Amino acid sequence: MKKEDLLRIGVISSTHGIHGEVKVFPTTDYPEQFEELESVFLDNDNTLLPMEIENVRYFKDKIILKFKNYDNINEIECYKGKDLLITRQQAVPLEEGEYFISDLIGSRVVTDNGRELGELFDVLETGANHVFLVKKQDGKELLLPYIPDCVLEIDIENKLVTVHMMEGLE
């Protein structure tokens, strides 16, 4: 299995207590999905470690995970800052109009009048709406709000995003 085929659902932010638990910052829109998972992959410097989940609970905006066979802080603290990944089969099914961010990255971005803007290289998750980060052909960055008035069409298969350039965006 390749890392590129997996989806990131969280990042280990710190240890929690002395019995091998970790705090996880969720990078999924559905943090409750951790309760349904039996295992995840831990990206340990490009080595994928399968980790069986023993227990899940919540603490403020974090998830507290306990992995099987990791019973003290010394065994788990080396994984701080590491990504937790799942397969697409483990992911929450997407609704119409929803996309995995990893599928959007690398898409060409064009305007509704056919002008090439650049390549989508990241998506920011803000409180109000997501924001597409586009690397323009001149190397500058463009921020586009993911709202119906701006993002008109997303074609995952052809890696193409069509946008309407609202006043003030460029």
Three-state secondary structure string covering 41-104: EEEECCEEEEEEEEEEEEECCEEEEEECCCCCHHHHHHHCCCEEEECHHHCCCCCCCCCCHHHH
Q: Report pLDDT for 96.
A: 84
Average pLDDT over residues 57-73: 94
Average pLDDT over residues 116-142: 91
* Local structure of 106: helix, strand or coil: coil
Average pLDDT over residues 110-133: 91
Cβ partners under 8 Å of residue 76, min gap 6: 15, 20, 21, 22, 67, 70
Shortest CA distance to 119 belongs to which of 98, 99, 137?
137
Report d(CA 165, CA 98) in Å as an integer.
22
Report d(CA 22, CA 76) in Å as an integer.
8
User: Percent of the chain beyond pLDDT 70?
Assistant: 100
Bridge partners, 14 (sequence order): 23
Q: Report pLDDT for 155.
A: 95
Residue 149 scores a pLDDT above 90 = yes
Average pLDDT over residues 139-168: 93
Q: Report pLDDT for 3.
A: 77
Taking the model in full, what pTM does it have?
0.77
Dihedral angle computed from the Cα positions of residues 161, 165, 169 and 170, in that order, rounded to the nearest 10 degrees: 90
- Confidence bin at 106 (pLDDT 50/70/90): very high
90 versus 127: the higher-pLDDT residue is 90
Residue 1 scores a pLDDT above 90 = no
